[in-house]
């Protein structure tokens, strides 16, 4: 899943993984999990994430490759938010060379004004990590997770300064991947504006 911050990658990745019965991982969630457990990697990642810049390739690649190794042989998997640089994409190609690389990169296209609105209203369950939105996907009780009755939080990097920085980083480091996968014939672009259900249908269509 490829796309700018707030495009709906996490929301859709969860739905698609359930639908296709395959494991999915968000590199951002992996980092946040390390932070919650206060591991060395978590402490290292925190300083970058807080400012909205990318965690260095070397540590990111090692972390995601570990996850992939533990999740192969189950009929496929879905990556959300990785790769995010050309170096990461090349490392992934290399790791999956025997099986011909990834099948598809889904590029979720959403205009920037909509992204700002989505990020500034995003709420995340501190326990089960379900995503909500104050206006677009509100929980039944304000600030409480429907699934596990736990408090919802705003992410540090969803504050205005970090949002601006993340868009800049996206343009410079991640947007070039659109061309990268286009050239390989692996890119599918999906319009990411509309209801969550509608976009989910578009994604499944693109995948099939």
Using alpha carbons only, give the angle 42, 48, 50 rounded to the nearest 5 degrees: 90
Minimum distance from CB of 32 to Zn ion (Å)?
A: 14
166 is catalytic: yes
| Least distance CB 30 / ligand ADP (angstroms) | 8
Count the residues of the shown chain that bind ligand ADP, applying the rule CB under 6 A: 36
SS (H, E, C) 70-91: HCCCCCCCEEECCCCCHHHHHH
86 three-state secondary structure? helix
Give, to the nearest 10 degrees, the angle between helix 57-70 and helix 27-36. 100
3-state secondary structure (DSSP) of residue 185:
coil
Task: Check if 118 is active-site.
Answer: no
Q: Give the integer Cα–Cα distance in Å for 52 and 128.
A: 23
Catalytic pick from 32, 118, 166, 202? 166
Q: Which residue has the tokens 């919802």?
A: 152
Tokens of 200: 């989910």
Residue 148, binding choice from ligand ADP, Zn ion, none, Cβ under 5 to 8 Å by partner class: Zn ion
Q: Which residue in the list 32, 84, 118, 202 is annotated as catalytic?
A: 84
Catalytic residue among 46, 90, 129, 155: 155
Shortest spacing between CB 151 and Zn ion, in angstroms: 9
**Shortest reach from residue 39's CB to ligand ADP, in Å:** 15
Which conformational region is residue 54 in: left (phi greater than 0), alpha (psi within -120 to 50 degrees), or beta?
A: beta
Q: How far is the CB of 130 from Zn ion (least distance, A)?
A: 5
* Gap between the Cα atoms of 48 and 8, Å rounded: 22
202 scored as a contact of ligand ADP (CB under 6 A) = no
d(CA 131, CA 60): 23
The angle at the Cα of 31, spanning 2 to 87, to the nearest 5 degrees, equals 50
Contact pick of 2, 24, 28, 41 for ligand ADP (by CB under 6 A): 28
Site for Zn ion in 91-150 (CB under 5 A): 125, 127-128, 130, 145, 147-148, 150
Question: Which spans of this chain sit near ligand ADP (rule: CB under 6 A)?
Answer: 3, 5-11, 26-28, 31, 48-49, 52-55, 60, 81-82, 84, 88, 118, 121-122, 131-133, 136-137, 157, 166, 194, 196, 199
Question: Which spans of this chain sit near Zn ion (rule: CB under 5 A)?
Answer: 125, 127-128, 130, 145, 147-148, 150
Q: Return the active site residues.
A: 9, 84, 122, 155, 166
């Amino acid at each position: 899943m490829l796309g700018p911050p707030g495009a709906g990658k996490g929301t859709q990745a969860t739905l698609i993984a359930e639908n296709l019965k395959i494991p999915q991982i968000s590199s951002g969630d992996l980092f946040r999990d390390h932070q919650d457990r206060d591991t060395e990697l978590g402490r290292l990642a925190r300083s970058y994430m807080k400012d909205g810049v990318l965690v260095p390739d070397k540590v990111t690649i090692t972390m995601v490759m570990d996850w992939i190794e533990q999740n192969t042989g189950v009929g496929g998997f879905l990556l959300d938010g990785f790769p995010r640089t050309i170096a990461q994409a090349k490392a992934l190609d290399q790791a999956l060379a025997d099986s011909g690389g990834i099948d598809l990169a889904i590029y979720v296209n959403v205009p920037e004004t909509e992204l700002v609105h989505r990020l500034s209203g995003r709420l995340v369950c501190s326990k089960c990590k379900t995503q909500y939105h104050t206006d677009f996907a509100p929980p039944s009780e304000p600030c409480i997770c429907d699934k596990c009755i736990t408090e919802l939080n705003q992410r540090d990097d969803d504050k205005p300064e970090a949002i601006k920085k993340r868009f800049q980083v996206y343009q410079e480091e991640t947007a070039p991947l659109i061309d990268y996968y286009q050239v390989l014939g692996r890119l599918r672009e999906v319009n990411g504006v509309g209801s969550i259900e509608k976009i989910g249908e578009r994604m499944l269509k693109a995948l099939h």
